[in-house]
Amino acid sequence: MNTDAAGPAGGGQAELISDATIEDFEAKVLRASMDRPVLVDFWADWCGPCKQLMPALETAVREAGGKVALVKVNADQNQTLCAQLRVQSLPTVMAFFRGQPIDGFQGAVPASHLKAFIDRLLDMVQQMGGGAAPDDPLAAALEQAAALLENGETDQAEALYAKIAEVAPDTGVAHVALAELALARGDIAGVEARLEALPPEALDDKDIAARAGRIRTALSVQAEGNADADFAALAARIEADPNDHDAHFDLALGYQGRGDLAAAAEALLASIMRDRDWQDGKAREQLLKLFDAAGPTDPFTLKYRRRLSSLLFS
């Protein structure tokens, strides 16, 4: 086993580079990451890119001067651990801090990328308040997950929210965030499972209740959509008669079924532009449903609400 000794930023002695299995992963990674970030390199003997990455990664960790540690996990010998952490390709590197994954990458990358990755990781740690464990680890973990989501690191955010929901199943924010992520990738069963897992008292929080309501509206919108619509035939009908409001509406439902809310909104606006009162404002009401599904501050809602207002009040 290749190891180096170095002291973490918070003091004490710990191995800078070591190997781990599922049996000692908690000690070498989760607990050790309370003091400094720990990189976990998932590799295998048969993996050529793994053999290319590992020496460069070890060098980058040593050059960081003890600010980060490296733990190597043989994926073939620890398949259960890899499944738990959703490791899907090799090599995979995950960065843990305060017991949670906060960043990562896949594949062999050049030394410059490794240095930039570690620098970014250390900046993130500094923004999170350094190496000391927080008084409220649950709140800190939720802040980390929200930050990851805001930065577009959806896989890492989802893994962290899932861990929070597992450790603290009464945490409504984690369940509703996981439901939103499942909805974004079209995993309807996952959405419903997370909504069912929401503890009733969590809905006393107005923000959680509003988010859960938007998710349910989005499910309703998608359910009433028709992904099997004959788009070519509907387009031909509209070209032959631009005032064929039924065709506009059916086209919108077709786009809804595909999850393309922008295209659905365009079809509804085309109908509203020609007759805003068609069937007692049916197209307008459908567009408002799309706004409810996306949420009041979503860029889609802001854009198409402005477009709707300009039509209604011009």
Instruction: Look over the chain and give the mean of its residue pLDDT values, rounded to a whole number.
Output: 87
Look at residue 1 and tell me whether its pLDDT is greater than 50. Answer: no
Q: Residue 11 pLDDT more than 80?
A: no
pTM above 0.85, yes or no: no
* Closest-CA residue to 124 (of 150, 106, 163): 150
End-to-end CA distance of the chain: 74
Is there a shared CATH topology between the 4-133 domain and the 134-202 domain?
no
The percent of residues in the chain predicted with pLDDT above 70, rounded, is 92
Does the bond joining 55 to the residue before it have cis omega, within 30 degrees of 0? Answer: no
Domain ranges of the chain: 4-133, 134-202, 231-312
Checking if the pLDDT of 134 tops 60, the result is no
Catalytic residue among 38, 40, 50, 202: 50
The catalytic residue among 14, 39, 47, 264 is 47
For residue 297, what pLDDT is reported? 82
Superfamily of domain 231-312: Tetratricopeptide repeat domain (1.25.40.10)
State the burial class of residue 164 (Cβ atoms within 10 Å of its Cβ: 0-12, 13-18, 19+): buried
Average pLDDT over residues 54-74: 95
pLDDT band (50, 70, 90) for residue 136: low
pLDDT grade, residue 63 (50/70/90)? Answer: very high
> Could you read off the pLDDT of 121-130 as tens digits, one per residue?
888 887 766 5
Please tell me the CATH superfamily of domain 4-133, with its number: Glutaredoxin (3.40.30.10)
The predicted structure's pLDDT at residue 56? 95
State the average pLDDT over residues 269-274. 94
pLDDT digits (tens, 9 = 90+) for 182-209: 988 888 899 999 999 998 898 888 889 9
82 given a catalytic annotation = no
Rounded to whole angstroms, the Cα distance separating 233 from 235 reads: 5
Judge whether residue 100 has pLDDT over 90.
no
Q: Once rounded to an integer, what is the mean pLDDT over residues 146-153?
A: 84
Q: Which of the four pLDDT bands, split at 50, 70 and 90, describes residue 157? A: confident
pLDDT, greater one: 93 or 102? 93
pLDDT in tens, 167-179: 888 899 999 999 9
Please tell me the predicted confidence (pLDDT) of residue 12. 35
Look at residue 133 and tell me whether its pLDDT is greater than 80.
no
Tell me, letter by letter, the H, E, C secondary structure of the chain.
Answer: CCCEEECCCCCCCEEEEEECCCCCHHHHHHHHHHCCCEEEEEECCCCHHHHHHHHHHHHHHHHCCCCCEEEEEECCCCHHHHHHCCCCCCCEEEEEECCEEEEEEECCCCHHHHHHHHHHHHHHHHHCCCCCCCCCHHHHHHHHHHHHHHCCCHHHHHHHHHHHHHHCCCCHHHHHHHHHHHHHCCCHHHHHHHHHHCCHHHHHCHHHHHHHHHHHHHHHHHHCCCCCCCHHHHHHHHHHCCCCHHHHHHHHHHHHHHCCHHHHHHHHHHHHHHCCCCCCCHHHHHHHHHHHHHCCCCHHHHHHHHHHHHHHCC
For residue 314, what pLDDT is reported? 66
Domain 134-202 has CATH 3.40.50: no
pLDDT score of 14 more than 70 = no
pLDDT of residue 55: 96
For residue 27, count CB atoms less than 10 angstroms from its CB and return exposed for 0-12, middle for 13-18, buried for 19 or more: exposed
